[in-house]
Structure 1
Amino acid sequence: MRRLAALAALVVALGACTSTPTEPAADQTPSATSTPSPTESTPPPDPGPTPRVGECHLLSFGQAVSVVGRTEPVRCRRKHTAETYFVGRLKLATKAGHVRRVDSRAAQEQARSTCAARLPRHLGRTPQELRLTMARSVWFTPSPKHAEAGADWFRCDLVVVAGPRRLLVLPRVTKGLGGAPALAMCATAAPGTRAFKRVGCGATHAWKAVSTVDIPGRKLPSKQAVADRMDGPCGDAARANASDPLDFTWSQESPTPEQWDAGQRYGICWVPA
């Protein structure tokens, strides 16, 4: 699944004071230059507020897949679909003395990788365990104009996909929530069928993800090579989850080229729920 990641762009307004020019006397020649008074100076640009860990946000699915800007937080006791679990600073200065744009590939990769690495710690699960959940990290950075004014933060939010283009409403506290059944990954039908839709196990479902299989290599292997690698481990996982070790079935889902390019280097083993 492509990353959900990270809000509507904010625009900073640069204000400036103005004054009314004075009419020169008839026998005077207007001066070519003048010294502005302190009241005529332009105020410094506003970088906007910095996000804080523990803030909650009511994001739509579309806002969650944006990466630039900052939405206003809501009280966590109210309905919300995202919680900020980490706030960091972007490394915008380069060794050559240049300054990266906040929306540059390097800045976004720093935010993406940091947020992904810190999500398991927040939820109290290993990265491998989180593969079998609908929990995702999304990240946000300042708008370019806020960045020009000095904003250099990036924000990591937890969201949970409830179904196609729909986010789960989160509880007031999400730290250590990784084992909650509502986060587990299920599906409406077997992988590879037209009715297959990934949903949280709190929704109506017919299949459940039970294991993952690492796929080595820099390039995505052929479908047959991936299937051969997954066949044994998925069969073992299905047997372990079956009520009858002699009568069980399973399905396996290999990563698509898009998922592989996004960093998913594993396949998923499924069994009937």
Structure 2
Amino acid sequence: MPYVPRRLRVAVLVLAAAWAIAGCGSDTAPPEDEKPPELGACRVLTPDDVAQPSNTTDPVDCSEAHTAETYAVGELPASFDHADHDDEELGAWAYTTCSDAFQKFLGADESLVMRTIVSWAWFRPTEPAWDAGARWYRCDVVGGGEQSKEYVDLPDTAKGLLLGRPKDRWMVCADGPTVAGSVKVPCTEPHQWRAVTTISLGDAQDDYPGDRLVEVKTRDFCSDSVGAWLSYPVDYDFGYTWFHQAEWDAGNRRSVCWAKTDQ
């Protein structure tokens, strides 16, 4: 299985998971203990928290240790007023909304955010609040990705984290004999592979070109791209992460190229 960054996996899980179906909105007020999210709030979240569609963890002061920061909040479009809690369209909408805001918040382009150790997750109201008519969303930057057993602490704010030349502590590397299935770690930790570039495989309106074409195009590009990144040595190893139709349908159009390094 190729490595899927957390910001993508969250969107894909939203499309594929079989959560219980909630009722449509009503005029009943949402539960009093579930308030709309606050922009800039910090929390101590774990990978288990991020795996859930909703989160009611209490915020902490951003000067204290925290692993998540809310960077985008708002009301869902009116088209979701009568949608089910697990409506498939929610995942696609959230992917576009949160990923675009993620790039702007970190100060990076699409290629760079796919090579950072930090990722994003989004949350909706709990099912009781959804049933009562709540229709907000919350996007959080978190200090880790899909394979993280625990998250790293974020700075007081992650805004502008990737501006200029990002520090290695925020870039993603892989610790293992191959890229596929290896543990993804910050590049300040021991590693054998570094994510060095990405390739765009299509535009937003394009249909999925198929597994074979995506893999071949990714492989050929990464072979040349990694060679250039390494200044064209005689021998070098490279790896690549490519994605399937589920990720494509969620909005991803890029593959990641990895260079084998001596740190």
Provide TM-score, normalisation by structure 1.
0.73
Match of 2:183 in 1: 197
Say which of 105, 113, 124 aligns to 1:141.
124
2:169 corresponds to 1:182 = yes
| Structure-2 change in CA distance of 1:182 and 1:192 (3 Å) | closer
Say which of 10, 33, 52 aligns to 1:4.
10
Give structure 2 stretches of 5+ with no counterpart. 14-27
SS of corresponding position for 2:99: helix
Report Cα offsets for 1:228-248 as digits up to 9, x if no partner.
Answer: 323442233222322564343
Shift of 1:65: 1.7
What is the CA–CA distance in structure 1 between the aligned matches of 2:30 and 2:231, rounded to whole Å?
Answer: 65
| Structure-2 change in CA distance of 1:90 and 1:206 (3 Å) | same
Structure number with the higher helix fraction is: 2
2:65 corresponds to 1:79 = yes
Q: CA RMSD in A?
A: 2.9
Shift of 1:181: 1.9
For residue 184 of structure 1, what is the amino acid of its counterpart? Answer: M
Match of 2:259 in 1: 271
Larger Rg: 1 or 2? 1
SS of corresponding position for 2:104: helix
Q: How does 1:60-209 map to 2 (within 5 A)?
A: 60-92=46-78, 99-161=82-144, 163-178=147-162, 179-191=166-178, 196-209=182-195
- Contact 1:88/1:155 (<8 A) preserved: yes
- Contact 2:72/2:139 (<8 A) preserved: yes
- Contact 1:79/1:170 (<8 A) preserved: yes
- Contact 2:143/2:152 (<8 A) preserved: yes
What is the CA–CA distance in structure 2 between the aligned matches of 1:45 and 1:121, rounded to whole Å?
Answer: 31
SS of corresponding position for 1:73: coil
Match of 1:52 in 2: 38
Say which of 228, 236, 257 aligns to 1:248.
236
Report Cα offsets for 1:86-122 as digits up to 9, x if no partner.
Answer: 111012456xxx7224443334443332111110000
Q: How does 1:7-26 map to 2 (within 5 A)?
A: none
Match of 1:219 in 2: 208
Greater relative CO, 1 or 2 (CA 8 Å, sep 6+): 2
- Contact 1:81/1:169 (<8 A) preserved: yes
| Structure-2 change in CA distance of 1:52 and 1:88 (3 Å) | same
Match of 1:37 in 2: none
| Structure-2 change in CA distance of 1:113 and 1:175 (3 Å) | same
What is the CA–CA distance in structure 2 between the aligned matches of 1:45 and 1:210, rounded to whole Å?
Answer: 46
- Contact 1:189/1:205 (<8 A) preserved: yes
What is the CA–CA distance in structure 2 between the aligned matches of 1:269 and 1:115, rounded to whole Å?
Answer: 23
